[in-house]
Amino acid sequence: MDQKIKSEQTSQELEGSQELSRRNFLKLGIGVLGVIAALEAGAAGVLFLQSRSQEEGFGGLVTAGAVDDFPFGSVIEFPENRFFLIRSHDGGFLAVHNRCTHLGCTVFWDPDQNHFVCPCHASSFDFYGDFESPPVLRPLDTLPIHIQDSMVRVDTSRLQQREQFVPGQLVYA
């Protein structure tokens, strides 16, 4: 009889230790996953909060290329410098920032529709970056252009707000 009682106690102890072991294993697993998730969130936060002005190619003078490299009526994107260089049909140049003036989303050029589109709220801007549809209420910001020795240079350190496009904003060689 004693052996039977001892055998039952031993099997109950084993079951109890296995259940406790599983519980501890799950606690440990969840804890490890929580630490990994916290580290990933922290790393993403640090990358997000780093200064964007330190990115190479933005915040300074950018040489876009020779005047003759840009065909009349073209829009060329400079993604690393965050602007589009527009060459009008009459030869003038205009550099527009690639951020929507509504919430700062990155706009893209749609050559089929001949306008810029903001993917966040489907706002659109015409060939010169002037706004066409709400919710945006003003055109894309421009960047100063300098043409020196037949080279087009864009100053990405100075954004210029405007109320609408006027032909005087174009720079000619």
Would the pTM count as exceeding 0.95? no
pLDDT in tens, 49-78: 654 444 445 678 999 999 999 999 999 999
Q: What is the pLDDT of residue 89?
A: 95
Q: What is the pLDDT of residue 69?
A: 95
Q: What is the pLDDT of residue 44?
A: 77
Structure tokens at 1: 């009889």
- Bridge partners (DSSP) listed for residue 93: 87, 171
pLDDT band at 1 (very low <50, low <70, confident <90, very high): low
Q: What is the pLDDT of residue 47?
A: 67
Going across the sheet that includes 74-78, the strands are 74-78, 83-87, 93-97, 142-143
- Res. 32: pLDDT tops 50: yes
Q: Show me where the domains of the chain are located.
A: 2-50, 54-169
Topology, domain 54-169 = Rieske Iron-sulfur Protein (2.102.10)
Percent of the chain with pLDDT over 70: 82
Identify which of 133, 70, 78, 134 has the alpha carbon closest to the alpha carbon of residue 108. 78
* pLDDT (mean) for 80-105: 94
